[in-house]
Structure 1
């Protein structure tokens, strides 16, 4: 009888120790998961901070403008500048240079008209004495025909000849738009030159 009781107690003790061992394993696993989560969060934060430090652009989120001509709606959402923008020299070599970027949305709000507009061929004038045309290679395609209900969105890039993008206090943009009567009635043709001046500082 004593042997049975002793055997029972040994089995009970083994079961208890096994249960404790599982608890220890579970606690250890939980601690490992917490440590891993903290490490991942730290890595994510470090990557975000590094991305901000590596960002070569200065953002002017308040440099916005909205305007309409006929059925065309233009929306400048922000302006960015950099003196370390990537580009190409005349020989096709990669260089670092000064540039201005303009984020724009163009919308044809009509239901039956086709317009032509050319903001991606705009001329930029700056407070630092620059007058340059948009770079059509690096700019998004916002120009040409825009049919009824169509929305185009993208960036217009201007490379500066004299640099000093970070010193710019204001910019002026001009671009053209037109409408041709589909029936060939020239009296209904229309043309517009849009001019926008934006303060950056």
Structure 2
């Protein structure tokens, strides 16, 4: 499994475990009518470690399709964007609105943003990018799992991280092409309407 997407799984697993532990704590409190249940710290740590290892083992079995040879680049003034290491899965872990663990479709990509200027600052909202897919989806980058790649880019500043999208209508594995949309601007003109609209289409299959 691509090491970068392993990081996504670790974060997802930790959130899942935190949610499950919180639900268990609420149920325990209600069942005992505010009575305190004592647990040996060693036993608690052992159970937590066992649960985490089991969940990580399950995550390792999830099916991902990687498009590591698919890369795209885009520029605005002295800012360059490189999109690479795209991966999709229809069996990624998630918590639904009822607090239940479910599997869902996900598309993730590695993005590198570089301000190559030694004197100018720029602004970008690529971490809020809109993804359009061949399966008819139009979704925004997930603000929880996506890395902070947006905002002001100061002189010679570089950022690299992951954007995560959750398609809802179709299977991620069926996506043949994607189009990524976001904006860039010069910091001095950030309050003007002179933003530059990026539209990058990437063929996956």
Q: Is the 8 A contact 1:171 1:198 kept in 2?
A: yes
Q: Partner of 1:64 in structure 2?
A: 71
Structure 2 vs 1, CA of residues 163 and 92 (structure 1 numbering), >3 Å: closer, same or farther?
farther
Q: Which runs of 5+ in 2 are unaligned?
A: 1-56
Moved over 4 A (4+): none
- DSSP-derived class of the 2:173 partner: helix
Counterpart of 2:198? Answer: 194
Question: Is 1:124 aligned to 2:124, yes or no?
Answer: no
Report the alpha carbon displacement of residue 190 of structure 1 after superposing the two structures with TM.
4.1
Task: Note the C-alpha offset of 1:181.
Answer: 2.2
Query: How big is each residue's C-alpha offset from its partner over 1:152-178, in whole Å with a ceiling of 9 and x where there is no partner?
Result: 001100001113111111011100111
| 1:112-149 Cα shifts (integer Å, max 9, x gaps) | 11111011100011111111111011101101111111
In the alignment, which residue of structure 1 is the partner of 2:48?
none
Matched, 1:141 2:148: yes
**What's the TM-score, normalizing by structure 2?**
0.66
Residue 109 (structure 1) shift: 0.4
Radius of gyration: which is bigger? Answer: 1
How many residues are treated as equivalent by the alignment?
A: 149
1:92: how far off? 4.2
2:5 corresponding residue in structure 1: none
Alignment RMSD, CA only?
2.5
State the Cα distance separating 1:185 from its structure 2 match: 11
- Given that residues 180 and 190 in structure 1 are in contact (C-alpha distance below 8 angstroms), is that contact kept between their aligned partners in structure 2? no
| TM-score after normalising by structure 1 | 0.67
The answer as to whether partners of 1:83 and 1:163 remain within 8 angstroms in 2 is: no
Residue range with higher mean Cα deviation, 103-112 or 87-96: 87-96
Ranges in structure 1 where 5+ consecutive residues have no aligned partner:
1-49
Paired residue for 1:28?
A: none
1:157 aligns with 2:164: yes
Q: 1:103 aligns with which of 105, 110, 120?
A: 110
**Offset at residue 64 of structure 1 (A):** 0.6
